[in-house]
Amino acid sequence: MVQALLPALRAIAEPTRLRILWLCAHGELSVSELVQILGQSQPRISRHLKLLSEAGLLERFREGSWVFHRIAREGLGADVAGQLLGLIDEGDPDIEMDTTRLAAVKSERAKSAADYFRRNAADWDRIRSMHVDDQDVEAALCALFPPDGVNNLLDIGTGTGRMLELFADRIESGHGIDLSRDMLAVARANLENAGVQHCSVRHGDLYQLPYPPHSFDAVTIHQVLHFMDEPGRALAEAVRVLRPGGILLLVDFAPHDREEFRTEYSHRRLGFSESEVAIWFEATGLKLQETRHLPGASLTVSIWCGNLPKEIPADTQSSADDNKRLLDA
């Protein structure tokens, strides 16, 4: 055990590498983003990243021409990284500067995605069906949704509100949340035109959902996570608001190599593998019920259907009254 610790301890005994560890604990980052934040040359940063990855402190994964780095989630390296992160002083001047620059990188990215949705809000329903037949995906979702319906549904990153419309006749109430006011305007018009009065949408950030824990019987996340720089954190926040026994439907692309989607459609991730989603599910306590893959002409859409077990610790439950009050607000 003592010997096994040495590679991680040796790798981290350097100021820039400690800063990289801190940064990668706050997002999945590419080399060029780390270069931008740390202001050091690419070969230098790449060398640091290689050492940290080899020592098991970071995980690296390639997607097309991009390589992402994130804090290790498993193994001794993950334990060491977790301990060290707890010791880093957030008030340290270098860490403060890195945190500010990381926030700037993230907000630049979020702005380009927001611009994309602003430009395409009116046309979104057509764009969504460009690569895979919507009807097939929706039929599969309907087959997975509880046949007798549920009390309430939250659609995260609701866009034009299509999921709310789709499940409207199987829910007592539906709530959609989205960061784009332009998308929300289209969603409101769509719901009104469809006569769906028991569903509403509101502005909000999916990383900080404005609901107490365990508020919803069902949560949908349809073609949203590939825009996120921390998809695992986004999923964990979704699970936080799911009730014990509740169902979560996650829809996204299977891994693909359409690199141009990053620039043309502002995608950050090129789909998700079964193993990556399995790790998120396990970490959040979701039990995977079923996975479906729907191949289209050039892309495959995957649906992951999970449930939260019925029994959860009593101290994490909030009262139904509290939930209702907040949802009505």
Ligand X SMILES: C[S@@+](CC[C@H](N)C(=O)[O-])C[C@H]1O[C@@H](n2cnc3c(N)ncnc32)[C@H](O)[C@@H]1O
Q: Could you list the residues that contact ligand X (CB under 6 A)? A: 113, 117, 128, 157-160, 162, 177-180, 183, 205-207, 222-224, 227
The nearest distance, CB 133 to ligand X, in angstroms, is 14
Under a CB-based contact definition with an 8 Å cutoff, are residues 167 and 153 in contact?
A: yes
The nearest distance, CB 93 to ligand X, in angstroms, is 29
Residue 75 token pair = 């193994």
CA separation for the pair 122, 184 (Å, rounded): 10
Question: Between 61 and 207, whose beta carbon lies closer to ligand X?
Answer: 207
- Least Cα distance to 276 among 250, 241, 246, 312 occurs for 250
Under a CB-based contact definition with an 8 Å cutoff, are residues 202 and 175 in contact?
A: yes
The helix (run of H) or strand (run of E) holding residue 302 is strand 300-307
Residue 249 token pair = 């439907």
Residue 121 token pair = 């809000």
DSSP type of residue 14: S
Question: Between 123 and 205, whose beta carbon lies closer to ligand X?
Answer: 205
The nearest distance, CB 67 to ligand X, in angstroms, is 23
Question: Between 79 and 138, whose beta carbon lies closer to ligand X?
Answer: 138
Under a CB-based contact definition with an 8 Å cutoff, are residues 37 and 102 in contact?
A: yes
Classify strands 242-253 and 216-222 as parallel, antiparallel or unpaired: parallel
The nearest distance, CB 227 to ligand X, in angstroms, is 5
The nearest distance, CB 321 to ligand X, in angstroms, is 27
